[in-house]
């Protein structure tokens, strides 16, 4: 099938082919979708395309990672950490930024987050040093003498569970309460694909590690 599209694509001008190639490098976009997107652009008014190109070009401008939770933000602290109504002693640990987006959509969580930027995966050479694990430990230590709950919301995959166990072993000696979101999520599933009701149930049904 890929060859079919490649052959077909050879009739196209280089500029169009380049756009198709770039699109097909994006996650979740196959060659067919890449072609459809490129065709859609060809049929769109130039003003719209320029708007899209501008948004893409500026997506990283002025962005950084929050110094507290490693979520993406403008400036030093993200909007969530900066919100005085959020409970800074309830920290939900997630794999990536999209998990924050998914959990925020539920509007049920009033604590703050800690984004690990991945999961432990020895096969891929990803150990604790490649994740924001030390930052998590330091953050919890800085909350000493307060009643802290760490909710581990890594995905229910093998790597997600391994990461969760690592966090438990790292944090329990610090005397904090560590809980894990309920297993209402499909095994091997991704948090950011779960619907809001499932995520809310997973949060509410969390249980303690003993
Ligand atoms: Zn933050």
CB distance 49 to 15 below 8 Å? no
Confidence (pLDDT) at 141: 94
Ligand 1 center to 50 CA (angstroms)? 32
CB hemisphere CA count around 134 (13 angstroms): 4
Q: 85-208: which CATH topology?
A: Dna Topoisomerase Vi A Subunit; Chain: A, domain 2 (3.40.1360)
| Per-residue pLDDT tens digits of the chain, which is 210 residues long | 555 555 555 778 899 999 999 999 998 999 999 999 999 999 999 999 999 999 999 888 888 999 999 999 988 999 999 999 999 999 999 999 999 999 999 888 999 999 999 999 999 999 999 999 999 999 999 998 899 999 999 998 889 999 999 999 999 899 899 999 887 666 556 777 777 777 887 888 888 876
Ligand 1 center to 55 CA (angstroms)? 23
pTM over 0.85: no
Distance CA 194, CA 157 (A): 14
- The CATH number of domain 2-57, selected from 3.20.20.70, 3.30.70.360, 1.10.8.420, 3.40.50.300: 1.10.8.420
Q: Per-domain residue ranges for the chain?
A: 2-57, 85-208
Ligand 1 center to 171 CA (angstroms)? 20
Ligand 1 center to 131 CA (angstroms)? 16
Ligand 1 center to 138 CA (angstroms)? 15
CB-proximal residues (5 Å) to ion ligand 1: 66, 68-69, 71, 78, 81
Confidence (pLDDT) at 4: 54
CA dihedral 86, 88, 91, 95 (to 10 degrees): 70
DSSP letter assigned to residue 206: -
Ligand 1 center to 21 CA (angstroms)? 35
Confidence (pLDDT) at 112: 97
Ligand 1 center to 13 CA (angstroms)? 45
Confidence (pLDDT) at 202: 81
Confidence (pLDDT) at 95: 96
Confidence (pLDDT) at 182: 81
Ligand 1 center to 168 CA (angstroms)? 22
Confidence (pLDDT) at 191: 74
């Amino acid at each position: 099938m890929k060859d079919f599209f490649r052959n077909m694509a050879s009739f196209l001008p280089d500029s169009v082919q380049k756009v198709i190639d770039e699109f097909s490098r994006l996650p979740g976009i196959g060659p067919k979708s890449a072609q459809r997107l490129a065709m859609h652009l060809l049929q769109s008014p130039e003003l719209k395309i320029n708007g899209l190109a501008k948004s893409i070009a500026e997506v990283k401008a002025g962005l950084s990672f929050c110094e507290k939770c490693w979520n993406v933000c403008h400036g030093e602290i993200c909007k969530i950490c900066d919100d005085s109504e959020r409970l800074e002693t309830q920290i939900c640990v997630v794999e990536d930024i999209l998990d924050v987006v998914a959990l925020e959509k539920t509007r049920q969580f009033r604590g703050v987050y800690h984004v690990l930027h991945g999961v432990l995966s020895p096969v891929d050479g990803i150990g604790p040093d490649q994740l924001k694990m030390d930052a998590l430990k330091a953050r919890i230590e800085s909350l000493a003498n307060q009643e802290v709950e760490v909710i581990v919301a890594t995905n229910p995959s093998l790597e997600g569970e391994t990461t969760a166990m690592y966090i438990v072993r790292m944090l329990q000696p610090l005397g904090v309460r560590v809980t894990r979101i309920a297993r209402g999520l499909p095994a091997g599933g991704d948090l950011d694909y779960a619907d809001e009701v499932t995520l809310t149930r997973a949060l509410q049904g969390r249980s303690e590690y003993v």
